[in-house]
Structure 1
Amino acid sequence: MIKRIFDVTVAAVALLLSAPVLALIAVAIRLDDGGPVLFRQQRAGRGGTSFHIHKFRSMRSVAGAAVTSDTDDRITRVGRLLRATKLDELPQLYDVLVGHMSLVGPRPEVHRYVAHWPPPARLRILSVRPGITDPASIAYRHESAELAQAAQPEEYYVSVVLPRKVEMYLRYVDTRSFLGDLRILARTVRVVLSR
């Protein structure tokens, strides 16, 4: 309950304080290519239930792999800046506010990748709300650059990156605490600001 109260309070205050920035980003996205401001995608939430995650759109709306590398030509000019600064993640504060996500928790995956998780791991990882950040997000903050080095980025993600993330998700679930979440948030802020 303390975690949920903290999530709601921080998400509400952060959305309020960042409102001018959110508005500027929305205008920049529209001016860049005239497309929609937000990107919505179904992800697996707590208990495996589906929800729509919200991000600022950083890519053109054309078909392609579900994972993105730095060399992906779908990324827009504004999108590159948003992804580099992680500002594209700000709309997820709304997902926290409505209860689909937490500030800290295993990152929500699309169902097709969740299907690759071993069943016992899947049950444990999906027993908690997914989060905006977690240890795997910090460790793989340069994931798109790593994927750009792979001949088949999606195959590399499924066979190499995803199993490592699953281990980190499980470690988080098994050792999570409110103070631990605060430490993860502090590390995330340091990493983002260091960019």
Structure 2
Amino acid sequence: MLKLNLIFKKIIDLFGSLVGIILTSPLLGIIAMLIKYTSDGPIIFKQKRLGKDGKVFEILKFRTMIVDAENIGDGLFVKTGTDNRITKVGKFLRATSLDELPQLWNVVIGDMSLVGPRPPVLHHPYKYIEYTDFQRKRFEMKPGITGLTQITVRNSVSWDERIPLDVKYVDTFNVWLDIKILFKTVIKIFTKESIYTESKNV
């Protein structure tokens, strides 16, 4: 049954990400132009993250901050929406999670899934080898654009408190759970809430 669910998950990932790119292409173009013409720097922000089984990959996002922001101020973290490293367009993109749209390409090429645990940066809060055996279970599935933590606690609790939810997702995974999470994610996008309850990664 697990193998069958994983097969359906791959089909949903490929079909969903390709359809998502096609349907949002006009929006992607508009966002790209706004970023290009309102701030200096690249349109896409790339950052190394930990994926399935600790494999390192580059996550893609629309750039929402000034160039080299991770080496200025609070470094990798954004504690409030008034952080002066965030661009004007970036504030809107982060508030609506539209900055995550380029990750649809991460799904197409197989680094990510539509649903799964969010991928951490390489050295925070731990290096891969520093996770406990229990915590490392979260890496048994591909990281997702959205996931169980995103529709429940999001950034309102610490990373260590989110890990059990990630493990729960891995342990209880099935296609219907993924579909439920995807629908709830859409609802969350249109529900105004702060993303800065806890420090958010750049």
TM-score of the pair, normalised by structure 1: 0.86
TM-score of the pair, normalised by structure 2: 0.83
Specify which of 122, 127, 140 is matched with residue 140 of structure 2. Answer: 127
Q: CA deviation at 1:118?
A: 3.4
Q: CA deviation at 1:140?
A: 4.2
Q: CA deviation at 1:164?
A: 1.0
Q: CA deviation at 1:121?
A: 2.7
Alignment correspondent of 1:176: 173
SS in 2 for 1:52: strand
Alignment correspondent of 1:83: 94
Alignment correspondent of 1:155: none
Alignment correspondent of 1:137: 150
CA contact (8 A) 1:44 1:114 kept: no
Indicate whether 1:25 and 2:31 are aligned. Answer: yes
Superposed counterparts of 1:157-168, under 5 Å? 161-168=158-165
Alignment correspondent of 2:77: 67
Q: Which moved more, 1:66-75 or 1:185-194?
A: 66-75
CA contact (8 A) 2:135 2:167 kept: no
Structure 1 unmatched ranges of 5 or more = 147-159
CA contact (8 A) 2:64 2:91 kept: yes
Alignment correspondent of 2:3: none
Give 1 or 2: higher helix fraction: 1
Instruction: Work out the percentage of aligned pairs sharing the same amino acid.
Output: 38
Question: How far apart, in 2, do the equivalents of 1:122 and 1:48 lie?
Answer: 12
Q: Which moved more, 1:47-56 or 1:120-129?
A: 120-129
Superposed counterparts of 1:2-81, under 5 Å? 2-61=8-67, 62=69, 63-64=71-72, 65-70=75-80, 71-81=82-92
**Two-structure CA RMSD over aligned residues (Å):** 1.6
Alignment correspondent of 1:106: 117
CA offsets 1:47-78 (integer angstroms, 9 cap, x no match): 10100000000011231421222232211100
